[in-house]
Amino acid sequence: MPPFPHTSHLGGGLTPPDDTVIDDVIREANAMQRLLAPPGRLTWLTACLRRFITTTAADVETAATARPVGDPVRLEALAVVREARYRLRLGPGDGYVSAIACVRSLGRAAEALRHEQRRLRRGLVAVAGSSGPGVIVLAPSETCPACLELVELRYQLEVRKDWLGMREANTRLASHRTAAHGLA
């Protein structure tokens, strides 16, 4: 029997995608300091967050380990995975207040994992110390040897914390991309 009898609607398309659901769960868990949920809801939130953290931590770890060893994005993503797994091992203590604290803790861990997951999915070369509209990033599919060489130079300068050299490498990359590829 269809979920909606006498309508011939089988239920497809009415539920939001999983990304929307987990974002709502994370938002609700992080709002526990302002809005308290009944115990049954806390149990459901905890189960959803635990399931999300378990699967996402493995995905983020796999994506992060594919990056270069000294990459700051890799280091931060792996630290977030360790923290999330640590919070996953902690359980609620006795009582309602402890259950709320556990849900909030899992919500913060899930939010950090979600952020790292999105960051790693973009596949961009992130530059620590440089952010905003002036930063140039390359997708992994770009194969121009000059672009890749300048990105590698910029990465080495970043590891050495030579911010002035990084800015010069960014400028050279921008001018190369404009001249050779017609990109701004």
Each of the 184 residues of the chain gets a pLDDT tens digit; together they read 445 455 554 444 444 346 667 888 888 887 777 777 777 888 888 889 999 999 999 999 998 888 877 778 888 899 999 999 998 888 777 787 888 888 888 999 999 999 998 888 875 444 444 444 445 556 655 677 888 888 888 888 877 777 788 888 888 888 887 888 776 5
Whether 140 and 123 have beta carbons less than 8 Å apart is answered as yes
CA 78 – CA 118 distance, rounded (Å): 14
Q: Which of 127, 144, 132 has its CA nearest to residue 179?
A: 144
Q: What angle is formed at CA 132 by the lines to CA 112 and CA 26, rounded to 5 degrees?
A: 20
CA 15 – CA 21 distance, rounded (Å): 9
CA 45 – CA 97 distance, rounded (Å): 15
Global pTM reads 0.58
Q: pLDDT of 83-123, one tens digit each?
A: 999 988 887 777 878 888 888 889 999 999 999 988 888 75
Q: What angle is formed at CA 91 by the lines to CA 18 and CA 46, rounded to 5 degrees?
A: 25
